[in-house]
Chains A and B, each alone.
Chain A
Amino acid sequence: NAGVTQTPKFQVLKTGQSMTLQCAQDMNHEYMSWYRQDPGMGLRLIHYSVGAGITDQGEVPNGYNVSRSTTEDFPLRLLSAAPSQTSVYFCASSSDPPDSYNSPLHFGNGTRLTVT
Protein backbone atom coordinates (compact mmCIF):
# COMPACT_ATOMS: atom_id res chain seq x y z
CA ASN A 1 0.00 0.00 0.00
CA ALA A 2 1.86 3.09 -1.26
CA GLY A 3 -0.29 5.73 0.51
CA VAL A 4 0.47 9.23 -0.79
CA THR A 5 3.19 9.46 -3.44
CA GLN A 6 4.82 12.72 -4.44
CA THR A 7 7.20 13.36 -7.30
CA PRO A 8 9.79 14.70 -7.71
CA LYS A 9 11.57 14.62 -4.35
CA PHE A 10 13.87 17.49 -5.28
CA GLN A 11 13.61 20.21 -7.90
CA VAL A 12 15.59 23.31 -8.81
CA LEU A 13 13.93 25.93 -11.01
CA LYS A 14 14.96 29.26 -12.40
CA THR A 15 12.77 32.28 -11.84
CA GLY A 16 9.95 32.36 -14.36
CA GLN A 17 9.95 28.64 -15.13
CA SER A 18 6.81 26.59 -14.66
CA MET A 19 6.44 23.06 -13.41
CA THR A 20 3.98 20.58 -11.95
CA LEU A 21 4.39 18.73 -8.67
CA GLN A 22 2.68 15.39 -8.83
CA CYS A 23 0.63 13.78 -6.06
CA ALA A 24 -1.20 10.47 -6.14
CA GLN A 25 -2.93 8.44 -3.44
CA ASP A 26 -4.22 4.89 -3.54
CA MET A 27 -6.46 4.98 -0.45
CA ASN A 28 -9.58 6.17 -2.29
CA HIS A 29 -9.56 9.35 -0.21
CA GLU A 30 -11.94 12.07 -1.30
CA TYR A 31 -10.03 14.91 0.35
CA MET A 32 -6.63 16.05 -0.85
CA SER A 33 -4.58 19.15 -0.14
CA TRP A 34 -1.27 20.85 -0.74
CA TYR A 35 0.76 22.52 2.00
CA ARG A 36 4.04 24.36 1.98
CA GLN A 37 6.42 24.30 4.94
CA ASP A 38 8.92 27.06 5.59
CA PRO A 39 11.39 27.38 8.49
CA GLY A 40 9.79 28.90 11.59
CA MET A 41 6.33 28.72 10.10
CA GLY A 42 3.60 26.15 10.31
CA LEU A 43 2.39 24.17 7.37
CA ARG A 44 0.33 26.55 5.25
CA LEU A 45 -2.53 25.37 3.07
CA ILE A 46 -2.19 26.25 -0.61
CA HIS A 47 -5.16 24.52 -2.26
CA TYR A 48 -7.45 21.67 -1.40
CA SER A 49 -10.05 19.42 -3.00
CA VAL A 50 -13.08 17.71 -1.51
CA GLY A 51 -13.53 15.36 -4.46
CA ALA A 52 -12.93 14.89 -8.17
CA GLY A 53 -13.79 18.03 -10.09
CA ILE A 54 -13.88 20.25 -6.97
CA THR A 55 -11.03 22.47 -5.79
CA ASP A 56 -10.74 25.52 -3.59
CA GLN A 57 -8.13 27.95 -2.32
CA GLY A 58 -6.34 27.76 1.00
CA GLU A 59 -4.35 30.42 2.83
CA VAL A 60 -1.59 31.00 0.26
CA PRO A 61 -2.94 30.17 -3.23
CA ASN A 62 -1.26 32.91 -5.27
CA GLY A 63 1.11 31.59 -7.91
CA TYR A 64 -0.28 28.07 -7.81
CA ASN A 65 -2.99 26.18 -9.69
CA VAL A 66 -4.54 22.79 -9.05
CA SER A 67 -6.96 20.43 -10.73
CA ARG A 68 -8.64 17.21 -9.65
CA SER A 69 -9.71 15.18 -12.65
CA THR A 70 -9.58 11.85 -10.77
CA THR A 71 -9.93 10.78 -7.13
CA GLU A 72 -6.32 9.55 -7.13
CA ASP A 73 -4.39 12.53 -8.52
CA PHE A 74 -4.02 16.12 -7.36
CA PRO A 75 -1.19 17.93 -9.20
CA LEU A 76 0.08 21.36 -8.13
CA ARG A 77 1.23 23.72 -10.86
CA LEU A 78 3.63 26.59 -10.37
CA LEU A 79 2.80 29.06 -13.11
CA SER A 80 5.92 31.26 -13.04
CA ALA A 81 8.32 30.28 -10.29
CA ALA A 82 9.63 32.93 -7.91
CA PRO A 83 12.33 32.69 -5.21
CA SER A 84 9.57 33.18 -2.60
CA GLN A 85 8.24 29.77 -3.64
CA THR A 86 11.38 28.04 -2.42
CA SER A 87 9.94 25.66 0.16
CA VAL A 88 9.10 22.08 1.00
CA TYR A 89 5.75 21.06 -0.44
CA PHE A 90 3.59 18.36 1.08
CA CYS A 91 0.56 16.71 -0.43
CA ALA A 92 -1.90 15.16 2.02
CA SER A 93 -5.11 13.19 1.82
CA SER A 94 -7.88 12.21 4.18
CA SER A 95 -10.98 10.07 4.11
CA ASP A 96 -12.85 12.69 6.15
CA PRO A 97 -16.34 13.44 4.89
CA PRO A 98 -17.85 16.79 5.86
CA ASP A 99 -19.71 15.39 8.87
CA SER A 100 -16.82 13.42 10.40
CA TYR A 101 -13.95 15.21 12.01
CA ASN A 102 -11.50 12.66 13.31
CA SER A 103 -9.80 11.41 10.17
CA PRO A 104 -6.16 12.44 10.14
CA LEU A 105 -4.18 13.63 7.19
CA HIS A 106 -1.85 11.21 5.42
CA PHE A 107 1.16 13.07 4.05
CA GLY A 108 3.44 12.35 1.14
CA ASN A 109 7.21 12.53 1.66
CA GLY A 110 7.47 16.05 0.30
CA THR A 111 9.06 17.86 -2.62
CA ARG A 112 11.99 20.14 -1.85
CA LEU A 113 11.84 23.02 -4.32
CA THR A 114 14.51 25.67 -4.82
CA VAL A 115 13.90 28.63 -7.10
CA THR A 116 17.00 30.60 -8.07
Chain B
Amino acid sequence: GQNIDQPTEMTATEGAIVQINCTYQTSGFNGLFWYQQHAGEAPTFLSYNVLDGLEEKGRFSSFLSRSKGYSYLLLKELQMKDSASYLCAVRGTMRNDYKLSFGAGTTVTVRA
Protein backbone atom coordinates (compact mmCIF):
# COMPACT_ATOMS: atom_id res chain seq x y z
CA GLY B 1 0.00 0.00 0.00
CA GLN B 2 0.87 3.67 -0.09
CA ASN B 3 1.30 6.15 2.76
CA ILE B 4 1.60 9.78 1.69
CA ASP B 5 2.01 12.63 4.15
CA GLN B 6 1.87 16.36 3.59
CA PRO B 7 1.10 19.28 5.91
CA THR B 8 -2.56 20.23 6.23
CA GLU B 9 -2.24 24.00 5.94
CA MET B 10 0.31 26.70 5.14
CA THR B 11 0.01 30.47 5.03
CA ALA B 12 2.31 32.88 3.21
CA THR B 13 2.44 36.47 2.05
CA GLU B 14 1.98 37.65 -1.51
CA GLY B 15 5.35 37.77 -3.27
CA ALA B 16 6.96 35.29 -0.88
CA ILE B 17 8.09 31.67 -1.38
CA VAL B 18 6.40 28.61 0.07
CA GLN B 19 7.68 25.02 0.12
CA ILE B 20 5.20 22.17 0.47
CA ASN B 21 6.75 18.90 1.56
CA CYS B 22 5.51 15.44 0.75
CA THR B 23 6.86 12.19 2.17
CA TYR B 24 5.79 8.80 0.96
CA GLN B 25 6.18 5.13 1.75
CA THR B 26 5.15 2.98 -1.18
CA SER B 27 5.45 -0.54 -2.49
CA GLY B 28 7.69 0.46 -5.39
CA PHE B 29 7.83 3.81 -7.12
CA ASN B 30 6.98 4.90 -10.65
CA GLY B 31 6.60 8.65 -10.43
CA LEU B 32 5.29 11.49 -8.30
CA PHE B 33 2.77 14.11 -9.38
CA TRP B 34 1.68 17.45 -7.95
CA TYR B 35 -1.81 18.74 -8.63
CA GLN B 36 -3.41 22.08 -7.79
CA GLN B 37 -7.04 22.23 -6.72
CA HIS B 38 -8.92 25.48 -6.18
CA ALA B 39 -11.88 25.31 -3.82
CA GLY B 40 -14.88 23.70 -5.49
CA GLU B 41 -12.96 22.84 -8.64
CA ALA B 42 -11.23 19.85 -10.20
CA PRO B 43 -7.53 19.11 -9.61
CA THR B 44 -5.23 20.24 -12.40
CA PHE B 45 -1.77 18.87 -13.18
CA LEU B 46 1.26 20.90 -12.08
CA SER B 47 4.35 18.71 -12.26
CA TYR B 48 5.79 15.23 -12.56
CA ASN B 49 9.04 13.76 -11.19
CA VAL B 50 10.36 10.27 -11.72
CA LEU B 51 14.12 10.87 -11.39
CA ASP B 52 15.93 12.57 -8.52
CA GLY B 53 16.37 16.29 -8.79
CA LEU B 54 14.57 19.51 -9.48
CA GLU B 55 12.04 20.18 -12.23
CA GLU B 56 11.31 23.86 -12.85
CA LYS B 57 8.23 25.27 -14.54
CA GLY B 58 8.07 29.02 -14.29
CA ARG B 59 7.18 30.04 -10.73
CA PHE B 60 6.67 26.41 -9.68
CA SER B 61 9.41 23.84 -9.07
CA SER B 62 9.23 20.27 -7.83
CA PHE B 63 12.00 18.24 -6.25
CA LEU B 64 12.32 14.50 -5.72
CA SER B 65 14.61 12.29 -3.65
CA ARG B 66 13.68 8.66 -4.19
CA SER B 67 16.10 7.34 -1.57
CA LYS B 68 14.46 9.53 1.08
CA GLY B 69 10.89 9.07 -0.14
CA TYR B 70 10.59 12.84 -0.26
CA SER B 71 9.38 15.54 -2.59
CA TYR B 72 8.62 19.21 -2.32
CA LEU B 73 6.73 21.73 -4.39
CA LEU B 74 8.19 25.22 -4.35
CA LEU B 75 5.96 28.15 -5.20
CA LYS B 76 7.82 31.40 -5.87
CA GLU B 77 6.58 34.99 -6.18
CA LEU B 78 3.29 34.00 -4.63
CA GLN B 79 0.14 35.50 -6.07
CA MET B 80 -3.35 35.60 -4.56
CA LYS B 81 -4.52 33.15 -7.23
CA ASP B 82 -2.09 30.56 -5.82
CA SER B 83 -4.40 30.12 -2.82
CA ALA B 84 -5.49 26.52 -3.33
CA SER B 85 -4.98 22.98 -2.17
CA TYR B 86 -1.88 21.19 -3.47
CA LEU B 87 -2.07 17.42 -3.83
CA CYS B 88 0.89 15.07 -3.86
CA ALA B 89 0.25 11.79 -5.70
CA VAL B 90 2.47 8.75 -6.11
CA ARG B 91 2.34 5.96 -8.65
CA GLY B 92 3.58 2.71 -7.19
CA THR B 93 4.38 -0.61 -8.78
CA MET B 94 1.08 -2.25 -8.12
CA ARG B 95 -0.29 -4.78 -10.56
CA ASN B 96 -1.57 -1.91 -12.66
CA ASP B 97 0.81 1.05 -12.75
CA TYR B 98 -2.02 3.38 -13.62
CA LYS B 99 -3.13 3.61 -10.01
CA LEU B 100 -2.25 6.87 -8.28
CA SER B 101 -2.39 7.31 -4.52
CA PHE B 102 -3.05 10.83 -3.27
CA GLY B 103 -2.09 12.64 -0.11
CA ALA B 104 -4.80 14.57 1.73
CA GLY B 105 -3.59 17.85 0.28
CA THR B 106 -2.01 21.04 1.65
CA THR B 107 -4.19 24.14 1.72
CA VAL B 108 -2.11 27.22 0.96
CA THR B 109 -3.51 30.62 1.85
CA VAL B 110 -1.81 33.65 0.33
CA ARG B 111 -2.30 36.88 2.25
CA ALA B 112 -1.82 40.39 0.93
Binding site for B on A (CB under 8 A): 31, 33, 35, 40-45, 48, 50, 56, 58, 90, 94, 96, 98, 101-102, 104-110
Binding site for A on B (CB under 8 A): 4, 8, 30-31, 33, 35, 41-45, 48, 50, 87, 89, 91, 96-105
Give the tally of cross-chain contacts (CB within 8 A). 62
Contact B50 A43 (CB under 8 A): no
Contact A42 B96 (CB under 8 A): no
Q: Which 9 A-B pairs have the closest CB atoms?
A: A42-B102, A104-B45, A107-B42, A43-B102, A42-B104, A101-B31, A109-B42, A101-B30, A42-B103
Alpha-carbon gap, A101 to B4, bound state (A): 19
Alpha-carbon gap, A33 to B45, bound state (A): 16
Q: Name which residue of chain B comes closest to A100, CB basis.
A: B97
A97 CB to nearest chain B CB (Å): 9
